[in-house]
Amino acid sequence: MIRVFFNSQSCNSQAPSQHDAGILLNQMMETVEQLDAIERSDHDSILTNRDPHVRDNLHGYYRDGPFESQRLTATHTFKDIVRYWLNHLRNSPDLALDRFRKFTLHLTSLPLASEVFSSVNTQWQRVDNNEDISWTALGYAAHFTSLVCEATGGGAAVVSISGIAKYDTMAIEVQRLHTDERRLVWNVAHPDHVIAQRRWYEAHRKHLPDPTLQGYVSAMDLSDEEAQQVLDRAVEIKGERRLFARYRGFIYIFSFHGHRGNKRMYHGYRVDDPRQIRTRMVDICNRLYKDLQWEELAP
């Protein structure tokens, strides 16, 4: 599960007009829709034929404070801008109006992170300006960010409204107070921040499920759609370019093979016998077994 924390502090009177503020909120909605498209579950279920604008329970969504009274312009609050933008969309296709209405209702009714995670230690500060971010969206996301995690983005993301320099960067380095521990928090303020961080699957001919093909190596037995969803949950290990995933009792390995625009493209294959990769990747297998309890990789 990716835990998504909405950053109320990113409302800071940054828009010069109500219309510009409406554009920022619409961009925020589109950014969240890109996050929603990363389909992950805690089990081996894969969703198909899913409406991209329907929010589900694959991720956890929280806010670090109320949005309604926060100002997006010098004189207009978040609530004012929502009302203005809904009126602006009256002549737009019904889907656009319905999408925005549902998004803002969802955002303003999300549970408060401080209530859900009251026992979580979020004592962190930003490295770039030493700002204390304890009990903010960044602090909560830092707590749930992990290098060994079955999820794109390390398992947590902050959603910020763009227009403020300190929240317009995709990666924010943080440090736990009074320690040397540092982590990179995934902050998304534009749809491209999700598109560039997500891994994108592209089938490779040498991994087609047909051993009679010249150059055949190992088969990818999943459809492109299913392979994409397994890639979304793949584990990224520091210092290792390949990604690893566990699905329906099999281990899958994905390799980076290039960029398509700002997308990182991967191909992959199924490991037929996990014992074979144990002999070649002892340290990696030990780590996956220890940290994630992948039984197929037991010593």
DSSP 184-207: EEEEESSHHHHHHHSEEE---GGG
What is the Cα–Cα distance from 78 to 74, expressed in whole angstroms?
A: 11
Per DSSP, the three-state class of 253 is strand
pLDDT at 152: 85
pLDDT less than 70: residues of the chain: 40-58, 205-217
User: 242 with 257: CB under 8 angstroms?
Assistant: no
Is the separation of the CB atoms in 60 and 2 below 8 Å? yes
Contact 203, 266 (CB under 8 A): no
Angle at 155 between CA 287 and CA 178, to 5 degrees: 85
Give the Cα separation of 233 and 250 in Å (integer). 14
pLDDT of residue 55: 52
For residues 161 and 11, give the distance between their C-alpha atoms in angstroms, rounded to a whole number: 7
d(CA 118, CA 257): 42
Write down the pLDDT at residue 274. Answer: 83
Closest CA to 81 of 56, 52, 107, 112: 107
pLDDT value of residue 149: 82
